[in-house]
């Protein structure tokens, strides 16, 4: 039904995507610059990549972040599936409104509040801040994120598929593992990926809940960025952008293959 792209739509799309991509493009191009200034091109070089990869502090922070992200998103996806099933399937129970609110609120709550409140909790309970407190903090946020992603898939789930499985003699467990799980698994996977990305990216909550020796990559990045532009940050950024781009391409390809098969 939707007709041709008019000039106004073409213009807004072109300008819109240029706005989104030009800054990143400039960033990537100047990561290959030989000079120290990131605004004047002096020649092609990979030296800043070499420097980033030899920066032990940076590498340690990156490794920390990956571990925190993987742990917290795995825990979040498990707990988030429980929460999603509770929200969509369990009907009414005492405290449901409160529960729905607690799942929804962290997603829109400014992170400065979430971060501060978690820090004060850890202080009050006298918990030593460090690696595990960040994991707990991220799991809390990612739990909410995963629950919403999985719940939206469960809502559109055709319940007659489960009824058909029961009808054909499957047990509740078999129905869950052989019918329900395979159908919601794309949502579980995207929930995990979203959580992982969020965790890799978070500065504020991590800054509040981190302790000595548990610096994450965004915290490291933040302290360098505050000092101004530098080609090392460009190189590091380019690496991170490539990882995200690669991830999206793989996800899109998998999605495309699945669409073709069904």
Partner 1 sequence: MNLRWLRRLFIAIPFFWMLLFFLVPFAFVLKISLSDAARARPPFTPQLGLEDGWSGLIDRLRQFDLESYVWISGDSLYVTSILNSLKIASVSTLLCLVFGYFVAYGMVRAPRRWRTPMLLALILPFWTSFLIRIYAWIGILKNEGFLNNLLLGLGVIDEPLIIMNTTTAVYIGIVYSYSTLMIFPLYASLERMDGTLLEAAEDLGCSRLSAFWQITFPLSLPGILAGCFLVFIPAMGEFVIPDILGGTQTVMIGKTMWIEFFSNRDWPVASALAILLLLILIGPILLFQRHHERHLGKI
Q: Scanning residues 164 to 183, which ones bind partner 1 (CB under 8 A)? A: 172
If DSSP codes are grouped into helix, strand and coil, which group holds residue 211? coil
Instruction: Rank residues 138 and 179 by Cβ distance to partner 1 and give the closer one.
Output: 138
Residues making up the chain, counted from first to last:
262
Terminal alpha carbon distance of the chain: 25
Closest separation in Å from C-beta 141 to partner 1? 9
Indicate if the alpha-carbon torsion angle 64, 67, 70, 74 is positive or negative.
Answer: negative
Q: Does 103 sit near partner 1 (CB under 8 A)?
A: yes
Closest separation in Å from C-beta 46 to partner 1? 19
Could you say which of 18, 23, 53, 250 contacts partner 1 (CB under 8 A)? 23
Measured CA to CA, the distance from residue 183 to residue 173 in angstroms comes to 15
Q: What are 259's two structure tokens?
A: 């669409």
Count of residues touching partner 1 (by CB under 8 A):
85
Q: Which of residues 72-91 bind partner 1 (CB under 8 A)?
A: 79-80, 82-83, 85-86, 90
Closest separation in Å from C-beta 179 to partner 1? 17
Q: Which of residues 183-222 bind partner 1 (CB under 8 A)?
A: 197, 200-201, 203-204, 207, 218, 221-222
Could you say which of 106, 145, 184, 232 contacts partner 1 (CB under 8 A)? 106
Q: What are 67's two structure tokens?
A: 């571990």
Closest separation in Å from C-beta 88 to partner 1? 10
Measured CA to CA, the distance from residue 87 to residue 93 in angstroms comes to 10
Q: Does 70 sit near partner 1 (CB under 8 A)?
A: no
Q: In which region does residue 95 sit, left (phi positive, over 0), alpha (psi from -120 to 50) or beta (all else)?
A: left
Measured CA to CA, the distance from residue 37 to residue 54 in angstroms comes to 20
Instruction: Rank residues 72 and 179 by Cβ distance to partner 1 and give the closer one.
Output: 72
């Amino acid at each position: 039904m939707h007709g041709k792209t008019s000039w106004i739509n073409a213009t807004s799309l072109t300008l819109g995507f240029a706005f989104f991509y030009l800054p990143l493009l400039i960033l990537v191009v100047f990561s290959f610059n030989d000079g120290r200034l990131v605004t004047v091109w002096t020649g092609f070089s990979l030296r800043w990549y070499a420097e980033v990869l030899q920066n032990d502090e940076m590498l340690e922070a990156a490794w920390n972040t990956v571990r925190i992200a993987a742990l917290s998103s795995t825990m979040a996806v498990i707990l988030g599936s429980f929460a999603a099933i509770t929200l969509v399937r369990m009907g009414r129970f005492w405290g449901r409104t409160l529960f729905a609110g607690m799942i929804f609120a962290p997603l829109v709550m400014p992170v400065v509040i979430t971060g501060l409140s978690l820090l004060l909790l850890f202080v009050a309970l006298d918990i030593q801040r460090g690696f595990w407190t960040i994991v707990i903090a991220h799991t809390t946020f990612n739990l909410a994120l995963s629950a919403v992603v999985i719940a939206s898939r469960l809502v559109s789930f055709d319940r007659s598929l489960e009824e058909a499985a029961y009808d054909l003699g499957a047990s509740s467990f078999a129905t869950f593992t052989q019918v329900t799980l395979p159908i919601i698994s794309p949502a579980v996977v995207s929930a995990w990926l979203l959580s992982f990305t969020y965790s890799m990216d978070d500065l504020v909550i991590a800054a509040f809940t981190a302790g000595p020796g548990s610096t994450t990559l965004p915290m490291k990045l933040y302290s360098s960025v505050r000092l101004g532009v530098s080609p090392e940050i460009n190189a590091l950024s380019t690496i991170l952008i490539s990882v995200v781009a690669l991830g999206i391409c793989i996800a899109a390809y998998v999605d495309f293959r699945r669409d073709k098969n069904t």
